[in-house]
Amino acid sequence: MPLIAQPWTRVRTPAPIPDPPTANHLAALEDVEFAELLRSNLVPGDPSKTTRELWDRLWAVLRADEDLTERTYNVLEEFRDLTEDALDGDELDDAGRKRAEKFLRNCESSWQRIDREVPATPLSWAGKAGNFPPHAARVIAQLVSAIARHRHVVEESPIGSSGADEELWRVLRRINLDPDDYSDRPGES
115-138: pLDDT as tens digits = 866 555 667 666 666 677 777 777
Would you tell me how many other CB atoms lie within 10 Å of the CB of residue 80? Answer: 17
* 84-99 mean pLDDT: 94
Q: What's the mean per-residue pLDDT of the chain?
A: 86
What pLDDT does 125 receive? 66
Q: How confident is the model at residue 179 (pLDDT cuts 50, 70, 90)?
A: confident
What pLDDT does 171 receive? 87
One domain for residues 55 and 111: yes
What pLDDT does 178 receive? 80
One domain for residues 38 and 98: yes
State yes or no: cis peptide before 158, omega within 30 of 0.
Answer: no
- Domains contained in the chain, number: 2
Q: What is the residue range of 154's domain?
A: 124-181
One domain for residues 96 and 163: no
What pLDDT does 121 receive? 61
Q: How confident is the model at residue 139 (pLDDT cuts 50, 70, 90)?
A: confident
pLDDT tens-digit readout, 44-84: 887 777 788 899 999 999 998 889 999 999 999 999 999 99
Give start and end residues of each alpha helix (H) in 41-133: 49-64, 66-88, 94-115
Residue 88 has pLDDT above 90, yes or no: yes
Nearest alpha carbon to residue 38 among 88, 78, 95, 1: 78
| Cβ(181)–Cβ(60) below 8 Å | no
One domain for residues 130 and 87: no
Residue 147 lies in a domain: yes
Query: pTM to 2 decimals?
Result: 0.63
One domain for residues 38 and 85: yes
